[in-house]
Amino acid sequence: MHTRLPLGVLVLRWLSVCALLSAPLLSSLAGGEPPPEKMLGFTERRAREQTALEKKFDAQLSAADQRAWVEQMASAPNHVGAPHNKANAEFMLAQFRAWGWDARIETFQVLYPTPRKIGVELVAPTRFTAKLQEPAVAGDRTSAQIADQLPPYNAFGADGDVTGELVYVNQGMPDDYKELARHGIEVRGRIVIARYGGGWRGLKPKLAYEHGAIGCLIYSDPRDDGFGAGDAYPKGAFRPADGVQRGSVMDMPIFPGDPLTPGVGATAEAKRVAVADAKTVLKIPVLPISHADAQPLLAALDGPVAPAAWRGGLPLTYHLGPGPAKVHLTVVSDWSLKPIYNVIAVLKGSERPDEWILRGNHHDAWVFGADDPLSGNAALMAEVKAIGALAKEGWRPKRTLVYASWDGEEPGLIGSTEWVETHAEELRRKAVAYVNSDSNGRGFLQAAGSHALQTLVNQVAAAVDDPQTGVTVLERRRAKTIVDGTRRGAEAEAQRVAKLVADGAPPPIGALGSGSDYTAFIDHLGIASLNLSFGGESETGGVYHSAYDSFDHYSRFGDPGFAYGVVLARIAGRVMLRLANADVVPLRFGDFADAVAQYVGEVHRLADSMRESTEMQHRMFGENLFKLAADPTKTQLPPERDAPVPVLNLAPLDNALLRLKKSAKAGDAALARATKADASRDDARRVELDAVLRSLEPALLHAPGLPGREWFRHMIYAPGLKTGYGVKTLPGVREAIEDRRWPEAERYASVIGDVLNAYCDRVDRAAAIVTEPPAER
């Protein structure tokens, strides 16, 4: 029913929107369009030359090329070890060489378990055998290649043959187990069934094991990405009844890459640990299943009815169990080493060949992978072809360009991690920045990464038009940020950002956690990194990691016409070309300082809100409110009593932030001076300055790493130990507060304060190089 609002309310709402948007609008009306922002890192003359170069680059890009590459490379199963995966690597190698690049394949030998035998049977109170297979779909040509596919599986779960009562654990996240405990339900000695969502899939079996479960099933509920979200494939884009989401469950929050060679490249000669001793291989068997296979299992459960938020879209009453459903789960794998093939292409810099600008996208998939990853890989190939054409005309980048198409990303970021670990010392000396992409689709620019690169991203987005609307990519991204942040129910942070952007601030980029090939670059070596893609309007999530992620699906629902493949190449290619050609590495320290200020405020508010909620919980215990509010006819236990939250000493963090703001302001002013025409003639000073700028992101590393996971060394960004892919900013402090480890929170406040001060030392040094006369340096 539609309710008519009073006129006064409508007027107030209209005035609030006008107030939100008026500042930039009035500015535009008063003086016309504002002058374009100076190209970061370039003198005016070099900026004009760069703009002309980028137009030539654009002219080389072709949607038809990308369509042909995706169709060819997704024409057969493309998993690690598949013949077509190797053929794709060899195809790219030949293309890169033909386009004028110095290209090679680097091979590693890595652990990659593949299923020999899998099975899921309901053995009580009735019998049912799961199909564990995705049938062919009308109109999808490659879906009939069933014999060449590996069956649906979760890589790096343990082998096992177990039988036990079934328990439904919702999404299998930490709060779900707390809710089960309040119902008096344990999973010890039982098999859990969890639905996808709420957190990274690898946490579901890990947490199940930590709570005593003997096996784990993960299914895709139709409410989330099946018929509850839209028409199922092939009528629509969403997951059909027999569709299965494959994926790795390697314990990547500990470290990614080959489990047998932690910290070193998995070359043929590398020393390896035994599989039984590998820290990132899980301890219980786990399998993904379709909602068609999950439905009989869930229907056989009894016990308490699941909370409302736990209920999915299947036509049944969702019960928690345990039992009477009893399940037999079998997983037997081939644990042999498999070769992976990284394709590396290099175009040597003409002036600063020992400064590297790196770009990557992976080429392996779970099955065909048209969307994930080949849509992004095709954009990368387009960039290589276009830059190669420029080079054939005599142009050369100032800095060396390194393009990589990684293998083994899907099972655990293996190809990129092994390459980074193998070349770590050289990368520490030479790497300036890494630019990543993965899957790509129709919609809005999605950018995350090192915040000193934020202005570079926004300037590039302002130079490229959106193919659907004709406005710039930046304008469309700005509109999306404001609209999403002003929607009813928007989170407080989205509302805050929307207001800032509406008042004229540039749209911020996000922070990087994990989940793609930038991880080793930023989290382990401290190389400034970006992850770029388009999305938000394509409909490919419903076939994510399934056999239906095919060319026929992607060309209908992902990026019809491949227009956004071209736009991704234009955006990522410009970022690469500007990083390669800039007179001074295009960084803006103030953007990083703003991001850190946001994160510091967040951890303060986190501690304060936890203190308030804990005090309220203790009051409820004292007044016996949990017992009085519980239904006497049901099992509803009180939560575990939380320990009090002390007032934490975060002063080292606060003090470092104050210095960072001051240093960033002076540093940005100095870099602006460094790209004035008169300063551009001092090449020796420029080389010295670049060396200091390269050292900035590594200054944010802490050699001992994060607690319990020393591989992750970046103190500003990291994937959460209990979120998997999801980022935790200031992770040493934030996760310690969340887990109530108060001394650790204070210790890492000092650690982060130290790395921020080291960063400031380098910013101050960069400013001094620009501003001091040579004799004083």
pLDDT in tens, 147-170: 889 999 999 999 999 999 999 999
Which tens digits make up the pLDDT trace of 99-120? 999 999 999 999 999 999 999 9
Pairing of strands 431-436, 529-536: parallel
Q: Please determine, for residue 773, whether its predicted confidence score (pLDDT) is greater than 90.
A: no
Cα(691)–Cα(332) distance, integer angstroms: 51
User: Is 731:718 a contact under the CB 8 Å cutoff?
Assistant: yes
Which tens digits make up the pLDDT trace of 211-232? 999 999 999 999 999 999 999 9
- Residue 775: the pLDDT is 56
- Edge-to-edge, what's the strand order for the sheet holding 352-362? 102-111, 337-347, 399-406, 352-362, 431-436, 529-536, 443-449
The phi, psi pair for 228, rounded to 5°, reads -70, -20
User: What is the average pLDDT across 616-639?
Assistant: 95
Contacts of 25 (CB under 8 A, 6+ apart): none
Classify 108 as helix, strand or coil.
Answer: strand
Q: Which residues of 711-745 are buried (b: 16+ CB within 10 A; e: fewer)?
A: bbbbbbbbbbbbbbbebbbbbbbbbbbbeeebebb
Q: Please determine, for residue 372, whether its predicted confidence score (pLDDT) is greater than 80.
A: yes
CA torsion through residues 240, 243, 248, 251, sign: positive
State the amino acid at position 561 in one-letter form.
G
Cα distances (Å, whole numbers) of residue 580 to 42, 402, 435, 524, 652: 11, 10, 12, 23, 37
Q: What is the mean pLDDT of the chain?
A: 93
Count CA atoms within 13 Å of residue 684 on its CB side: 3
- Residue 11: the pLDDT is 33
Which tens digits make up the pLDDT trace of 675-688? 885 544 567 788 89
Q: Please determine, for residue 51, whether its predicted confidence score (pLDDT) is greater than 50.
A: yes
Which tens digits make up the pLDDT trace of 563-605? 999 999 999 999 999 999 999 999 999 999 999 999 999 999 9
- Residue 683: the pLDDT is 73
Q: Please determine, for residue 194, whether its predicted confidence score (pLDDT) is greater than 50.
A: yes
DSSP string covering 516-577? STTHIIIIIS---EEEEEEEES---GGGTTSTT-SHHHHHHHT-GGGHHHHHHHHHHHHHHH
User: What is the average pLDDT across 379-402?
Assistant: 98
Q: Which residues of 470-479 are buried (b: 16+ CB within 10 A; e: fewer)?
A: eebbbebbbb
CA torsion through residues 658, 661, 666, 667, sign: positive
Q: Please determine, for residue 279, whether its predicted confidence score (pLDDT) is greater than 60.
A: yes
CA dihedral 486→492→494→500, nearest 10 degrees, is 80
Q: Which two tokens stand for residue 622?
A: 């004292």
- Residue 681: the pLDDT is 53
Is the pLDDT higher at 177 or at 21?
177
Token pair 């193919």 is found at 467
Q: Is the peptide bond before 253 cis (omega within 30 degrees of 0)?
A: no
Residues present in the chain in total: 777
Single out the catalytic residue among 54, 383, 409, 746. Answer: 409
- Residue 540: the pLDDT is 86
User: Is 226:197 a contact under the CB 8 Å cutoff?
Assistant: no
Cα(130)–Cα(69) distance, integer angstroms: 36
Which tens digits make up the pLDDT trace of 67-107? 999 999 999 999 999 999 999 999 999 999 999 999 999 99
Q: Please determine, for residue 777, whether its predicted confidence score (pLDDT) is greater than 70.
A: no
Query: Integer distance in angstroms from the first to the last C-alpha of the chain?
Result: 74
Q: Is the peptide bond before 508 cis (omega within 30 degrees of 0)?
A: no
Task: Based on the residue annotation, tell me whether 393 is a catalytic residue of this protein.
Answer: no
Which tens digits make up the pLDDT trace of 163-190? 999 999 999 999 999 999 999 999 999 9
- Residue 147: the pLDDT is 86
Cα(403)–Cα(101) distance, integer angstroms: 10
User: What is the average pLDDT across 291-318?
Assistant: 98
Cα(655)–Cα(751) distance, integer angstroms: 12
Neighbours of 360 (CB within 10 A): 28
Q: Please determine, for residue 479, whether its predicted confidence score (pLDDT) is greater than 60.
A: yes
Helix axes 454-461, 589-622, angle to 10 degrees: 110
**CA geometry: angle at 691 spanning 105 and 732, to 5°?**
80
* Percentage above 70 pLDDT, the chain: 94
